Structure 1
C-alpha cells in the first residue's frame, strides 16, 4: 500500500519523534514512526512511505545497517532516506551517503530546515517518478507503433533522442533554476543583515571600551563575568567570525548566480551568450567532483580564455553540452586513477584544461583531460545514440549524441573528438560568432 506524502520517522527518542511529527503534520504530511531499525523494516513490509527520516544511533541494528537493508530490497530501495544524527564528522556522512542516503540533518535540528529538506526531497521524488512514468509511456508508444513506422532506423533514433533531450532539459532547467531562485532571497537577507551586524558590533565594542576608560574599577560581578566569558578574546574573535560568515555568504551568492546562469531557459529565438560565463557556471556546479578526496588530490582546472565576441545560441542547451563534456572528463580521469596510489596520482596530477580561442569568425572551445583516453574504434562510435563505454547503470549513451545534435544541428557548429589511450581526450567545439 502507499499513502500520499507519507513520512516514516525512525528514532528511539519520543521527544524527537513528537516534535518532527508536529512540524510535518502541520505542513500537511502524514507521519508514521518506528523506535528501532527492526520496527521500521517490519512496517515497510506493508507500507511504502514517500520518505524516511532515519536516526543513526538506534537500539539493535543501527541506522547505517537499517539503511543498507532498505536499499538492498527492490521494493524499498527507491524510497529516499534522510539521516538524522548528532555525529558531525565527515566520515559518518560519507558512509551514510555511500549506503544510499540522500541527505543529512544534524542534531539539534532546526524545524524550518527539516521541513524544507523533507519538502524538497519529496518533490524531487515525485518529479523523478513522473519522468520515469513519462519515459515508460514513451517506450510503450514506440513499441506499439513500431510496426506502423516506415521511417529508417536512423530517423527513429533521432526522434527518440530529441524527445529525451527536451525532457531532460526541461526537468534539469526547472530544478536548477528553482534551487537558484529559492536560495537567492535568504542569501540577500543574510548578506544585508551581516553588514548591519558588523556595524552594530563595532559600536557595542566601542561602547565597552568607553566603560573601561571611565570606570576602570568595575564591580566584582562584572569582573567575574568578564573572566568567565573571556571578554578580551570575545571582543577580538567576534568581528573575525562575522567576517568569515560574510565570505561564506558571498561564496553562496556565487553559487546562486552560477545556478541561474546555467539554467537560463531557451526562447524560440537564439540569444547572445558569453561562452566563458557558461563554462565558469558549469565548472562551479561540478566543483564537488573536482575537490580532493581520500583517494586522490584535487583535479586541477586550467582556464585559458581568449577575448571572444558573443555567440548567438540557445544558452540552456549549450550549457548542457559543457556539463556533459566536463563530467565525462572527470569520469575519464577517475577511471584512469583505478589501481594508482595517492602518491602516484600526485606525481602526475589530474588535469582538465579549458581553452577558448577565436579563429576568423569561429569561436572555439577546447576541453582537454589527461584521463584514460579512447581507441580510434571507440571514437568512431561515441556520437551514436545509446553507445557508451561505461558499465551498466553508469550511463545511457545519450549524452554525447545529444551534445553532437545540439552543436551541429541546433547551432550549425562542429563537435570534434581527439583521443589517445592512456594519454587523454580533447573535445573541440566550433561555433559561428556574431558579425560585427
Structure 2
C-alpha cells in the first residue's frame, strides 16, 4: 500500500499554517509543519518530505536562506520547494528560482490553485525520479553489455591465439616428426653397420703384423682403438637425442590436440606435462637465478572426459601466472637467497569420491592479498603493468572450468608464502553420461 505524499509547510504565522494544512489535508495529503527556517531544515532532514511549502518572510532565517541551505545539503537538495509569499516583485521571484525553488504561490492564495500547483510538482518529481531510475537502469544494462562485449572480444582473441598456437605447434611437430623418424629409424641400421665394421677392425688388428706398412701407418693415424671405444657411445647418445626429440614432438602434438575439439576421455597428466614442455624455457635457470623446480605428485587417475584443448589452456594460464610470480620474487632476492629457498611449483592430482578429479597447482611465490583474491576471476582485472596482461586469463579459465566442464576453480593463498589454484572437474561430464545412458537404454 502506497503512503500519502508528505508535505512540509513552513510559516511563522499560525493562521496561515491552519489554512494551508486544512486545504492540503482535505486534498488527501499528509502534512507536517515548521514555524521557522531552522526547524524546517531539521524536519526536512529527518522526515524527508515529498515537497516543501516555504514562506519567504520569516524572522531570523528567511525563506530564501532556508531554501539555499536545503539545496546545499545532499540529504534535502532533491526535495522540491514552492515559495509562499505576498511579494510580487519579479526580482524576488527570480531570486527564489535561482536558489532552487520550483514554483511560487502568491498570498492570499486560492485553495484550488494551491492544490493544483502542489499536485503538479509532485507528479513532476515522480516522473523525474522514474526517469532517473530508468536512465540508471539503462546505463547499468549498457555497461554490462559493454563489459560482456569486451569480454567476448578478448575471449575470441584468446581463443584465436590458442588456436593459432595449436596450429603452429602441430605444424612444427609434423615438420620435425618426419625427418626425426627417418634419422631415428636409420640409426638402428647404422648401429648394425658400425658393429660389423668394428668386428672387421678387430680381425684386422689380429692380423696387423702381416699388414702392409702403409695400412699399418693409416691405422696408427686413425687411432683405431679410440674409435672402437668411442663410436658406440656416440651412436648411443645420438639415439637418446632422437628419442628425446620424438618425445617432445609427441608432447607438442598432445598439447595442440587440434583433432579433439569435442569432449572426450583423455589423460590429464599428458596435458599438464605438455604444457610444462611449452613453458620449459621459462623454468630453466639463468645467470640471475636458479631454475624453477617442478614437483609432480600424480595419483592414479582414470581418463577424464573433457575438452582437452581448453583444459590445456587453463593449465597454461595458471602455470604461466605462477612463473610470473616466482620470477618477480627472484628478481628481488640475491642468487644465494634463491638457492637457499628455491622457487617451486608443485602439481598434485587426486580422485575425489570416485567422481571428481582434483588438480592442485601451487607455488611458493609472494602470495596474493585477500583484496586481490576477491577479484582475481573478474574480467579485465590484472595486477600486471600495462601491456603485460589483459586480465582475462583467469577469468577465461574460470569459465572453462565452471561453465564448460561443470567444475570448480578456486584460489587459496597466504600472502608472503604461497598460492594454490585448485581445479575440480567431473571424471564423466553429465551431458555425455546422459547420452551414454540413453544409448544403452535404446540398445537394451
Instruction: Name the SS for the 1:337 alignment partner.
Output: helix
Separation of aligned partners in 2, 1:403 and 1:391: 21
Residue 182 of structure 1 aligns with which residue? 175
Runs of 4+ in 1 over 4 A off after TM superposition: 148-151
Residue 421 of structure 1 aligns with which residue? 415
Note the aligned Cα RMSD (angstroms): 2.1
Residue 155 of structure 1 aligns with which residue? 148
Instruction: Name the SS for the 1:308 alignment partner.
Output: coil
* Structure 1 residues 274-319: Cα deviation after superposition (integer angstroms, max 9, x where no partner): 1111111111222222222212222111111111122211101101
Question: What stretches of structure 1 of length at least 5 have no aligned partner?
Answer: 1-145
Residue 406 of structure 2 aligns with which residue? 412
Asked if 1:389 corresponds to 2:392, the answer is no
Asked if 1:372 corresponds to 2:355, the answer is no
Superposition deviation, residue 266 in structure 1: 5.8
The 8 Å contact of residues 177 and 259 in structure 1, kept in 2 or not, is answered as: yes
2:344 to 347, 351, 360: 351
* CA gap 1:393/1:219 in 2 versus in 1, 3 angstroms: farther
Separation of aligned partners in 2, 1:182 and 1:406: 31
Asked if 1:279 corresponds to 2:253, the answer is no
Superposition deviation, residue 223 in structure 1: 2.5
Residue 62 of structure 1 aligns with which residue? none
* CA gap 1:187/1:150 in 2 versus in 1, 3 angstroms: same
**Range with bigger deviation, 208-217 or 350-359:** 208-217
Instruction: Name the SS for the 1:293 alignment partner.
Output: coil
Instruction: Name the SS for the 1:382 alignment partner.
Output: coil
Separation of aligned partners in 2, 1:368 and 1:266: 30
Residue 213 of structure 2 aligns with which residue? 220
Residue 196 of structure 2 aligns with which residue? 203
The 8 Å contact of residues 336 and 422 in structure 1, kept in 2 or not, is answered as: no
* Structure 1 residues 181-218: Cα deviation after superposition (integer angstroms, max 9, x where no partner): 11111111111111111110000010111122234232
The 8 Å contact of residues 161 and 385 in structure 1, kept in 2 or not, is answered as: no
* CA gap 1:281/1:267 in 2 versus in 1, 3 angstroms: closer
Superposition deviation, residue 268 in structure 1: 5.6
Separation of aligned partners in 1, 2:284 and 2:210: 53
1:308 to 278, 301, 307: 301
Question: What stretches of structure 2 of length at least 5 have no aligned partner?
Answer: 1-138, 437-444
Aligned residue pairs total 290
Instruction: Name the SS for the 2:331 alignment partner.
Output: coil
**Range with bigger deviation, 176-185 or 264-273:** 264-273
* CA gap 1:267/1:205 in 2 versus in 1, 3 angstroms: closer
* Structure 1 residues 49-94: Cα deviation after superposition (integer angstroms, max 9, x where no partner): xxxxxxxxxxxxxxxxxxxxxxxxxxxxxxxxxxxxxxxxxxxxxx
Asked if 1:324 corresponds to 2:335, the answer is no
* CA gap 1:172/1:402 in 2 versus in 1, 3 angstroms: same
Separation of aligned partners in 2, 1:212 and 1:268: 62
What does 1:11-410 align with in structure 2 at a 5 Å threshold?
152-265=145-258, 267=260, 269-360=262-353, 361-410=355-404
Superposition deviation, residue 150 in structure 1: 8.5
* Structure 1 residues 83-123: Cα deviation after superposition (integer angstroms, max 9, x where no partner): xxxxxxxxxxxxxxxxxxxxxxxxxxxxxxxxxxxxxxxxx
Instruction: Name the SS for the 1:216 alignment partner.
Output: helix
Separation of aligned partners in 2, 1:207 and 1:192: 24
* CA gap 1:247/1:268 in 2 versus in 1, 3 angstroms: closer
Q: TM-score normalized by structure 2?
A: 0.62
Higher Cα Rg, which structure: 2
* CA gap 1:150/1:418 in 2 versus in 1, 3 angstroms: closer
Separation of aligned partners in 1, 2:319 and 2:356: 21
Instruction: Name the SS for the 2:357 alignment partner.
Output: strand
Q: TM-score normalized by structure 1?
A: 0.63
